[in-house]
Structure 1
């Protein structure tokens, strides 16, 4: 019969060192004349978060030691597991010797040794050691292992120190190091080498990246990555800092390569900080030494650099936003001076609910656009605007289920223009608007729980401007969609306002299936009294009447999605269409986008644009996975880019093999093919485990 004893003999020595006593549980307990306590049969010792199990324990009070007969399992308070055949330990399980021993760290890394010496409950010194995170099957050689003459595990610093270590793959030595330090799996952050990455491109040749991670306290770190190939010598960096008030991230690189004679570099910085009184400071910095650098090295595929600083405050009833932005173009056919490169804007808006009902909004705004050039006209024009606006809106539920809403507004803007003789240096424009929308949602519940909702919508609005006509800087690119079909003005910015009498009509049918199959279909059109300027041919909004908007979405259980939008200028004249179809389950993820745009000289598109973008992911089995993506230009009948990543992983190893090809070229960028391979061995990446399928053991 199993008995439970609190051993008073253990309490005496332990009370000198710790608060509390050890607890011993065994099937049989005997006390000898020479003050030896012998416990046998399913023995357990519990003390200060540690737990020991064995077949027999002999406690000698005179020497204050435990002689333990295995199989022995020690579970330390920090999660470390020791196993051994025999051991001599003190009652606190902090000091002693374990023979035929093994340590398991975080249930990931196992370290086997002929003997383990425990010191001060902190250090474990192992001799003739083998370490691996792979599953060990009897005497079979694991996929990888590190053999060392000596290993010291510091459980407080959570570090492993190897002496005379050899990395073996399938038993074959591949790397010898006289000394090596690695973090144990329980450590979240530690300075040291990260997973190397091999990169091979047609422009830069075969190269290797060796990232080194440096901790700078609990809230900061720096990663330095030398990248070396026959064509380049590059140093990459990433700095991160976190605080109670915000975060800062800085990325960059400096290169000396054979592609250009001068040094090349880039720097991206991003910060988000909370200030007093609910203000937030945000900034982004983007700079590159030349237009092709980011693409040549695979850092980014953006074609414009945008640097901005923003002060933002969002409350329940007020909004304050101040932003300064600098643009730099990386496109071959675009001049920085014509963007314009510097944009500043400031806006304040507040809202409240007056006693007579509805919501009243009012505020003021300021924006400016500055170009470096002093050339007269679009290429050199500088412009500033100061404006104030107010608007009131309300909604009502009418008899027979009709829903009506109404809004009206007034605004005044003062413009300051220089370097453009076609416009006054100072000009004032005022505008007024009023509009209403009427909806009639009609619902029906069909068989099997299916719900149908049919909602016809009609709107009528009027607006007029008084005074001058300012240059159009911020309303050049606008498209008709479901979000702005019933808006008072569909221009993207403040420089243009839709004027005159206009109406919009649309119909939306929504079906919510009882089995989770849902669909939405919408269509509508805008009718105007006057033709509006500033809308391009493919915006769907040019002319007296807009194009027909047709949009729909279909979703089904199991991860299927289809979403589409198109603009039609007549029954057979398609202007724009963009669609996405996607499906995913536990093992497969498929997605495809299709975009078709008609010719539009005002958008610098002289020919039809038609492209497919495809991305997919496949979990082939528990070890293999594949990701592919591609972009194909149907109009030009040529691929734009393609890529694939093949990954193999198990419980102790992860290997990624990648290949990509960029087919496009310009005066600054050449077509490039890139190959890469990277891998990691489990349990030595701080803060994470490999987590793949454990390999099986055959007979």
Structure 2
């Protein structure tokens, strides 16, 4: 009996592996893995039949099987199991049957009244199932669904009926013969043969769920993606888009490398909007190379200015392509990059824009024995325009036609900080800049200019901190900086520093220009006040005030920069957050008349049920920044979970200057354990002469339960009786 019992245990171990619906591809060695059989009674009949009855349970390698009775015939190595049979593997897959009979070697057998649940999602119910070659399970007269079915007379929202379904345990695929797709038990589609992945397979070749679209520009159409896995580390998705006004083939290629990843996506279209073929191509990647260097690129190209808008791919009005190599360590930074810009704006010409840009930046820190920190920085920059016409300033059309610029900048600085009596913090920094500028195709500027100028800054901070009796903390820190930069303005063009932002980050900078083609000169005084508070109830707030005074006005600062006069506008920046998920942030420049010359604000409210946000932007009229009229706009975006299954989303952008909507979008989503429906409606109100207003409707219906990315476990309902 002991010998027969050992053989039964080994066979049960193999049975648990073979009968498990979605286990490993290769069955493990049963002798190497322990198994256990528990039953109310175990006895031997005629010396060759071992019978276990009453609450029979078998355990092996995370798999559990329960049955009413197990009979093992030692002469034929045949196993007969009476139900109810239930097998659960460690991943949650379930196989239920009323009767099972497996032949010699347990590679083939019959299971009556079989029902399989894959990954706690997909249910396969059949009259009977057969195990074939230890790999395939053949189901006869099958119903497949991932919807919850409650009661005897209830029907699932959707199901697939088939005369036969074969589950390939090794490839994790389901093959259907004579399949009917039914909605509420009403036949909708018929497929003589159909292949679908089981839920445990994350990357399966085949069609993805389609998206039905309606566009005022392109008409009614459908997008049907097809996914090609190429080995374990790369894949290709082709997306044909057929509509009344277009024939488009989109694609996306992805590949993962040991040191990085690559993504290429694009599309080629033939439509009625233009006579010639149209399309776009984007490529991006990031790779780790030797000695902590990171190589990254983001390449973008499009056939015409309106394509991205017409096909609702992107709202960008300029495309920036770049290739960069970067290395960051504790004491050094290096970045070298090549950039190319393609403008899509109707009032800009690519020939007169600085399209080709090269940059090299490096900064190194040293810590000398006498204290403080020494920094050495270098910056090499050059940009070219396609146009070769000299800039002569005679009319607006030729002011920057062909100007090409190269500059070399180096900075040597030493800085240190001390704490003196009463907690006063004193900081000192000294600087030496060496600059050289080369300008071509611009008769209004000197061809070559060079200089070396010094600079020094001393700052005082007096941090005051208070801790309340209940744990709240408050910090109040007044800041004053006195700075001086020698030299004077050179006769080189201002090509990179035409847009200046005055904010908390550069309040104490000796030059607030964004690039080194311009520097501030003379004596400046900067003063600020920083306030931080964290309450014991969890809310926090911060406020920063700042202002700059200079000896003489800097003419290269634009009006809206807030720095054009000898006394700057008042910088105000604040933020607030509380445990309820409410966040507020705002920044603005308040001029001497008490009006904002530039402002931005963002308010948000986020919790488990909703995520709402609103943004405001204000820019005054400024000819130096090519802004002929005041710009102000509101932007709204949000998501709200109406119920457990229903959610909605929306977005809107309203231009207060033109008193019109720029964009509005609404979305509605329904999701349960077996289906996901997404409806999106978007209206773009284009103001450009190259763009047309458009209205888009997108509908996507996805059946969850096929493929690992389509899980609906978190939306599973329960039956109420």
Q: Verify the 8 A CA contact 2:455 2:486 in the aligned structure 1.
A: yes
Tell me the number of residue pairs that the alignment of Structure 1 and Structure 2 aligns. 696
Tell me: CA distance 1:6–1:551, structure 2 relative to 1, closer, same or farther (3 Å): farther
Aligned counterpart, 1:19: 31
Equivalent of 1:319, from 294, 318, 333? 333
Give the drift of 1:508.
Answer: 1.5
Distance 1:529 1:630 in 2: 45
Equivalent of 1:206, from 207, 212, 220? 220
Secondary structure at the counterpart of residue 562 of structure 1: strand
Give the drift of 1:571.
Answer: 4.3
Q: Verify the 8 A CA contact 1:593 1:612 in the aligned structure 2.
A: yes
Q: Verify the 8 A CA contact 1:110 1:132 in the aligned structure 2.
A: yes
Aligned counterpart, 2:85: 72
Tell me: CA distance 1:303–1:65, structure 2 relative to 1, closer, same or farther (3 Å): same
Give the drift of 1:668.
Answer: 1.1
Aligned counterpart, 2:577: 555
Q: Verify the 8 A CA contact 1:7 1:22 in the aligned structure 2.
A: no
Q: Verify the 8 A CA contact 1:649 1:692 in the aligned structure 2.
A: no
Asked if 1:224 is matched to 2:224, the reply is: no
Give the drift of 1:36.
Answer: 1.3
Asked if 1:486 is matched to 2:473, the reply is: no
Aligned counterpart, 1:272: 286
Give the drift of 1:165.
Answer: 0.6
Distance 2:130 2:61 in 1: 20
Equivalent of 2:6, from 3, 8, 12? 8
Asked if 1:89 is matched to 2:102, the reply is: yes
Structure 2: unaligned runs, 5 residues or longer: 15-28, 392-399
Aligned counterpart, 1:369: 383
Give the drift of 1:92.
Answer: 7.3
Distance 2:346 2:603 in 1: 33
| Counterparts of residues 97-176 of structure 1 (less than 5 Å) | 97-139=110-152, 140-176=154-190
Equivalent of 2:54, from 41, 44, 53? 41
Distance 1:175 1:601 in 2: 63
Q: Verify the 8 A CA contact 1:430 1:467 in the aligned structure 2.
A: no
If the length of structure 2 is used for normalisation, what is the TM-score? 0.94
Structure 1: unaligned runs, 5 residues or longer: none
Aligned counterpart, 1:307: 321
Secondary structure at the counterpart of residue 561 of structure 2: coil
If the length of structure 1 is used for normalisation, what is the TM-score? 0.96
| Counterparts of residues 645-660 of structure 1 (less than 5 Å) | 645-660=667-682
Distance 1:435 1:288 in 2: 48
Distance 1:279 1:586 in 2: 40
Q: Verify the 8 A CA contact 2:182 2:188 in the aligned structure 1.
A: yes
Distance 1:34 1:367 in 2: 92
Tell me: CA distance 1:459–1:92, structure 2 relative to 1, closer, same or farther (3 Å): farther
Q: Verify the 8 A CA contact 1:653 1:680 in the aligned structure 2.
A: yes
Q: Structure 1, residues 348-401: CA drift from partner, whole Å, max 9, x if none?
A: 221110111111111322111101111222221111112222111111111101
Asked if 1:189 is matched to 2:203, the reply is: yes
Aligned counterpart, 1:502: 524
Q: Structure 1, residues 64-106: CA drift from partner, whole Å, max 9, x if none?
A: 1221111100234665321011111258765311101101111
Give the drift of 1:619.
Answer: 0.3
Asked if 1:539 is matched to 2:539, the reply is: no
| Counterparts of residues 537-686 of structure 1 (less than 5 Å) | 537-686=559-708
Distance 1:420 1:407 in 2: 37
Aligned counterpart, 1:461: 483
Q: Verify the 8 A CA contact 2:470 2:536 in the aligned structure 1.
A: yes
Equivalent of 1:287, from 288, 296, 301? 301
